[in-house]
Amino acid sequence: MHEDEKYSRLTEYLEEKARSVFDIGDTMTLLRESFPARTFCEEFKKAIYKKALATNIPQDILIKKLKSELGAQNFSSWWNGLAKSGNPLTISRDSAIKIAFALGLDAQEAQQFLTYSCGHNGFYMRDYKDLIYVFFLNKKNGYTVALDMIKKHSALDCANPNIEYTHGQIVSLLPNIGERITDRIKRQFDSDITTSEELNSFLEKNATYFGSFRRKAYEKFIKMYGIIKSANDYDAPTDDEICQMVLMNIPSLRGANKITNEILIKIAENTLPRSGLSEIINKTKDPKTGRITQVNRKHLILIWLLVYGGRPSFENLSEAQDAFEECITNINFDLLEPCGMSTLDPRNPFDWLVINALYYSHFEVDTEDTDAVERIHIIMSELFKGSGDDS
Number of independent structural domains in the chain = 2
Do residues 367 and 257 share a domain?
yes
Q: In 3D, which of 332, 278, 327 has the Cα closest to residue 300?
A: 332
Report yes or no on 341 lying in a domain.
yes
**Residue-number span of the structural domain to which 299 is assigned:** 13-36+217-383
Do residues 117 and 221 share a domain?
no
**C-beta separation of 324 from 362 below 8 A:** yes
Contacts of 126 (CB under 8 A, 6+ apart): 178, 181, 182, 185, 209, 210, 211, 213, 214, 215
Q: Name the band, by pLDDT with cuts 50, 70 and 90, for residue 321.
A: confident
What number of residues does the chain have?
391
Mean pLDDT of the chain: 84
Question: How far is residue 114 CA from its own chain's centroid?
Answer: 10
Q: Is the pLDDT of residue 390 over 50?
A: no
Q: Is the pLDDT of residue 107 over 90?
A: yes
Do residues 267 and 338 share a domain?
yes
Do residues 32 and 53 share a domain?
no
Examine residue 312 and say whether the peptide bond preceding it is cis (omega within 30 degrees of 0).
Answer: no
pLDDT in tens, 20-58: 877 888 999 999 888 999 989 999 999 999 999 999 999
Model pLDDT, residue 366:
60
- Of 24 and 171, the structure prediction assigns the larger pLDDT to 24
pLDDT > 70 fraction of the chain, expressed in percent and rounded: 82
Model pLDDT, residue 233:
62
Model pLDDT, residue 113:
95
- Of 255 and 293, the structure prediction assigns the larger pLDDT to 293
Report yes or no on 28 lying in a domain.
yes
Query: Out of 9-13, 318-322, 324-328, 364-368, which region has the weakest mean confidence (pLDDT)?
Result: 364-368
Domain boundary among 121, 138, 162: 121
Do residues 116 and 251 share a domain?
no
**C-beta separation of 38 from 348 below 8 A:** yes
Model pLDDT, residue 314:
62
Q: Whole-angstrom Cα distance, residue 22 to residue 364?
A: 8
Domain boundary among 104, 121, 138: 121
Q: Is the sign of the CA dihedral 344, 350, 354, 359 positive or negative?
A: positive
Burial class (CB in 10 A: 0-12, 13-18, 19+), 278: middle
**C-beta separation of 312 from 323 below 8 A:** yes
The mean per-residue pLDDT over the stretch 141-162 comes to 81
Model pLDDT, residue 386:
65
Model pLDDT, residue 371:
83
Q: Is the pLDDT of residue 2 over 80?
A: no
pLDDT in tens, 279-317: 888 888 777 777 788 899 999 999 999 998 866 666 665
Q: 20-47 in b/e burial notation, b at 16+ Cβ within 10 A? A: ebeeeeebeebbeeebbbbbbbbbbbbb
Q: Name the band, by pLDDT with cuts 50, 70 and 90, for residue 170.
A: very low
Q: Whole-angstrom Cα distance, residue 313 to residue 247?
A: 24
Report yes or no on 260 lying in a domain.
yes
Report yes or no on 312 lying in a domain.
yes
Report yes or no on 147 lying in a domain.
no
Do residues 272 and 241 share a domain?
yes
Do residues 99 and 226 share a domain?
no
**C-beta separation of 18 from 53 below 8 A:** no
Q: In 3D, which of 231, 165, 353 has the Cα closest to residue 241?
A: 231
Do residues 25 and 115 share a domain?
no
Q: Whole-angstrom Cα distance, residue 14 to residue 7?
A: 11
Report yes or no on 103 lying in a domain.
yes
Model pLDDT, residue 18:
93
**C-beta separation of 19 from 255 below 8 A:** no
Model pLDDT, residue 31:
92
Report yes or no on 139 lying in a domain.
no
Report yes or no on 335 lying in a domain.
yes
Q: Whole-angstrom Cα distance, residue 228 to residue 303?
A: 9
Do residues 31 and 107 share a domain?
no
Do residues 77 and 225 share a domain?
no
Q: In 3D, which of 383, 356, 352 has the Cα closest to residue 372?
A: 356
Q: Name the band, by pLDDT with cuts 50, 70 and 90, for residue 166.
A: very low
Q: In 3D, which of 337, 119, 300 has the Cα closest to residue 219?
A: 300
Q: Is the pLDDT of residue 165 over 50?
A: no
Q: What are the φ/ψ torsions at residue 171 (nearest 5 degrees)?
A: -70, -40
Q: What are the φ/ψ torsions at residue 351 (nearest 5 degrees)?
A: -60, -40
Q: Is the pLDDT of residue 172 over 90?
A: no
Do residues 283 and 375 share a domain?
yes
Q: For the chain, what is the radius of gyration of the CA atoms?
A: 22
pLDDT > 90 fraction of the chain, expressed in percent and rounded: 45
Q: Name the band, by pLDDT with cuts 50, 70 and 90, for residue 108.
A: very high
Do residues 20 and 100 share a domain?
no
The mean per-residue pLDDT over the stretch 173-199 comes to 78
Bridge partners (DSSP) listed for residue 285: 292
pLDDT in tens, 52-100: 999 999 999 999 999 999 999 899 989 988 665 555 567 899 999 999 9
Q: Is the pLDDT of residue 161 over 60?
A: no
The mean per-residue pLDDT over the stretch 181-185 comes to 83
